[in-house]
Amino acid sequence: MKIVNSDQMKQLDRMVIEQFGIPGVILMEHAGSVVLEEVLKYIEQKENKEVVIVCGLGNNGGDGFVVARQLFNKGIPLKVVIIGNPSDIGGDAKINYDIIHKLKVDIHILIGANNMKKFADAIKGCGIIVDAIFGTGLKREVDGYIQEIINIINGSGKQVIAIDIPSGIGANDGKVYGMAVKANKTVVLELPKICNIHYPGIEYIGEMIIKSIGMPKAVFENIRLNINLITKDMVKEVLPFRKKDSYKGNYGKAYVVAGSTGMTGASILTCEATLRSGAGLLKIPVPQSLNTIMETRLIEAITVPLPEFKKGVVGISDIEKIIKTMEESDVITVGPGSGNSRELEELLRNILEHTSKPIVLDADALNSLAKRKELLELITSQTVMTPHVGEMSRLTDLEIDYIKENRIEVATEFSRKWNTVVVLKGSRTVVAGPNGDIYINETGNPGMATAGSGDVLTGIVTGFIAQGIDPLKAAMAAVYVHGMAGDLVAEKLGEYGLMASDIVKQLPFAIKEIIGK
């Protein structure tokens, strides 16, 4: 499913109007009509049917005026509260304001801090509030008397339906600009905006209802919309079909460089997830002293015991053997639980220099890149990096808070700069590709914020690439499957007791639910 920012939505509106000859006032009529449907669903079961529509001076307010006219024509009691001077209303919104003004709809004007008590009393007497104050154009802090209006709405205890975006939320970043309406339901017009699926904005939208406002399908073919919400159908489309006449070689060979003394668990989780995701064969280069542990736990994998320059750490003392065995594989993964060491840095350098195979880099491999950023210049293979915000901060020298507030931009810029797929982990994980395509995931739950969860994700990415899925699509599918498996665990065990190993166990069930068998 496509997601748009405010500029893209404006461009779509303009194309519909200019290329297809559909007037903006018609789009506004459709917008008001789909919002009306949701208002009627609510009030038809309630005794108090009075509706208060709080409108701004722009197109979002114009949508509200359409709702008002249609409610008025149905004989439903309502009040329209306009924030600001009606003389400043223009364009299509003015057409619809003039109509409700001539119909003598009950209109109240709020300018400045006066009449706040009157507004609070009007809200108190209604059954439902429609928020039509700000739309996608908000780019400034909400303050002064408008902040007080939103505060009254939020404290009213009434059902609130927002049009497109709860007022006070930035369309492109999901930020709260001073104060925002807390909606019970948001009617999203045509396509979700970034704020509809991005924190903290999603905490304000309530139930999201996506409604078409009559834009022709052809308009979407004339503009590149690069932001996507990952869906089950998208994942199903990229997962490979398994023929009955097949063998392990059909599903790829994975090579995972992971684990060190005290951190074998990370390696085990990654390797189990690789196999549970469908990889046909898995090889693991293992420090000699850890081989027994790995062989005992990972009975389906092949271990490659290696001499140790430093106890419990895969080093460069046998780099030729590592290079030879890794080149027999279809994907190479480095980093989970590998430990921060000079040995790993040199091993990573050698791997980057000697392979053309797809590479997945996580955890300590990312820390090695952060320490020696010149290694980034060596990346020539198709590469997937899976940093959390702390690792991304070290890679980019950006503050963690800045990354959290600009997740899409940071992931996209890093991806383009270093020609790598970036999986910026967290709630609403962002997957960015070098071609500018962005995927946002909405599966998963807070219980997955636990040690080892990221190692499992790395294993899923590895398993999918091993099976021949393009690295960007593999990362997209992996974050969805990972979150879905975590959701299956949460349904059974709750979020508090969820462990990474539980996610691994649910991977086959998540994949089965997606592909339908």
- β strands within 288-375, DSSP E: 302-306, 331-334, 359-361
User: Is 429 assigned a ligand-binding role in the annotation?
Assistant: yes
Bond into 23 cis (ω within 30) = no
User: Is 365 assigned a ligand-binding role in the annotation?
Assistant: no
User: Is 337 assigned a ligand-binding role in the annotation?
Assistant: yes
User: Is 427 assigned a ligand-binding role in the annotation?
Assistant: yes
Q: What is the DSSP string of 255-281?
A: EEE---TT-HHHHHHHHHHHHHTT-SE
Q: Whole-angstrom Cα distance, residue 407 to residue 401?
A: 10
User: Is 60 assigned a ligand-binding role in the annotation?
Assistant: yes
Q: Mapping DSSP to helix (H, G, I), strand (E, B) and coil, where does residue 363 land?
A: coil
* Residue 308: partners with Cβ closer than 8 Å, 6 or more residues away: 287, 288, 289, 314, 315, 317
User: Is 502 assigned a ligand-binding role in the annotation?
Assistant: no
Q: Are residues 260 and 112 in the same domain?
A: no
Q: What is the DSSP string of 162-197?
A: EESS-TTB-TTT--B-S-----SEEEEESS-BHHHH
User: Is 428 assigned a ligand-binding role in the annotation?
Assistant: yes
Q: Are residues 205 and 292 in the same domain?
A: no
What's residue 306's pLDDT? 85
Q: Are residues 239 and 220 in the same domain?
A: no
Q: Are residues 206 and 268 in the same domain?
A: no
Q: Which token pair is 91?
A: 């364009």
Place of tokens 């909405």: 442
CATH number of the domain within which 474 lies: 3.40.1190.20
User: Is 61 assigned a ligand-binding role in the annotation?
Assistant: yes
Domain boundary among 170, 203, 224: 224
Pairing of strands 383-385, 302-306: unpaired
Per-residue pLDDT of the chain (517 residues; tens, 9 = 90+): 999 999 999 999 999 999 999 999 999 999 999 999 999 999 998 899 999 999 999 999 999 999 999 999 999 999 999 999 999 999 999 999 999 999 999 999 998 877 788 899 889 999 999 999 999 988 889 988 999 999 999 999 999 999 999 999 999 989 999 999 999 999 999 999 999 998 899 999 999 999 999 999 999 988 889 999 999 999 999 999 988 899 999 999 999 999 999 999 999 999 999 999 999 999 999 888 999 999 999 999 999 998 777 787 776 667 888 888 898 999 999 999 998 888 889 999 999 999 999 999 999 999 999 999 999 999 999 999 999 999 999 999 999 999 998 999 999 999 999 999 999 999 899 999 999 999 999 999 999 999 999 999 999 999 999 999 999 999 999 999 999 999 999 999 999 999 999 999 999 999 999 998 7
Place of tokens 């990221």: 454
Q: What's the half-sphere exposure (Cβ side, CA atoms, 13 Å) at 383?
A: 27
Q: Whole-angstrom Cα distance, residue 88 to residue 109?
A: 12
Q: Are residues 129 and 258 in the same domain?
A: no
CB atoms under 10 Å from CB of 312, counted, come to 17
DSSP assigned state of 375: G
> Alpha-carbon dihedral of residues 368, 373, 374, 380, nearest 10 degrees?
80
Q: Are residues 218 and 246 in the same domain?
A: no
User: Is 167 assigned a ligand-binding role in the annotation?
Assistant: yes
Q: Whole-angstrom Cα distance, residue 249 to residue 512?
A: 21
What's residue 33's pLDDT? 98
422's enclosing H/E stretch is strand 421-424
User: Is 164 assigned a ligand-binding role in the annotation?
Assistant: yes
Domain span at 265: 232-515
pTM score > 0.85 for this model?
Answer: yes
Q: Are residues 36 and 89 in the same domain?
A: yes
Q: Which token pair is 226?
A: 């690069």
User: Is 388 assigned a ligand-binding role in the annotation?
Assistant: yes
Note whether 189 and 209 are within 8 A (CB): no
Q: Whole-angstrom Cα distance, residue 10 to residue 16?
A: 10
Q: Whole-angstrom Cα distance, residue 186 to residue 15?
A: 25
Q: Which token pair is 377?
A: 């210049």
Q: Are residues 301 and 207 in the same domain?
A: no
- Sign, CA dihedral 133-138-144-148, equals positive
Which of 512, 488, 513 lies closest to 498, judged by CA? 488
User: Is 94 assigned a ligand-binding role in the annotation?
Assistant: no
Q: Are residues 213 and 340 in the same domain?
A: no
What's residue 139's pLDDT? 81
User: Is 335 assigned a ligand-binding role in the annotation?
Assistant: no
Question: Please, what's the largest Cα pairwise distance for the chain?
Answer: 87
CATH number of the domain within which 131 lies: 3.40.50.10260
User: Is 303 assigned a ligand-binding role in the annotation?
Assistant: no
Note whether 420 and 209 are within 8 A (CB): no
Q: How many domains, in total, are found in the chain?
A: 2
User: Is 131 assigned a ligand-binding role in the annotation?
Assistant: yes
What's residue 370's pLDDT? 97
User: Is 98 assigned a ligand-binding role in the annotation?
Assistant: no
Burial 320-347 (b: 16+ CB within 10 A, else e): eebeebbeebbbbbbbbbbbebebbbbb
The region that residue 329 occupies, defined by phi over 0 for left and psi between -120 and 50 for alpha, beta otherwise, is beta
User: Is 372 assigned a ligand-binding role in the annotation?
Assistant: no
What's residue 146's pLDDT? 93
Q: Are residues 340 and 423 in the same domain?
A: yes
User: Is 158 assigned a ligand-binding role in the annotation?
Assistant: no
Residue 277 identity (one-letter amino acid): S
Q: Whole-angstrom Cα distance, residue 172 to residue 409?
A: 10
Q: Are residues 337 and 376 in the same domain?
A: yes
Q: Are residues 131 and 268 in the same domain?
A: no
Domain boundary among 182, 202, 224: 224
User: Is 454 assigned a ligand-binding role in the annotation?
Assistant: yes
What's residue 126's pLDDT? 95
Domain boundary among 196, 224, 252: 224
Q: Mapping DSSP to helix (H, G, I), strand (E, B) and coil, where does residue 454 land?
A: helix
User: Is 87 assigned a ligand-binding role in the annotation?
Assistant: no
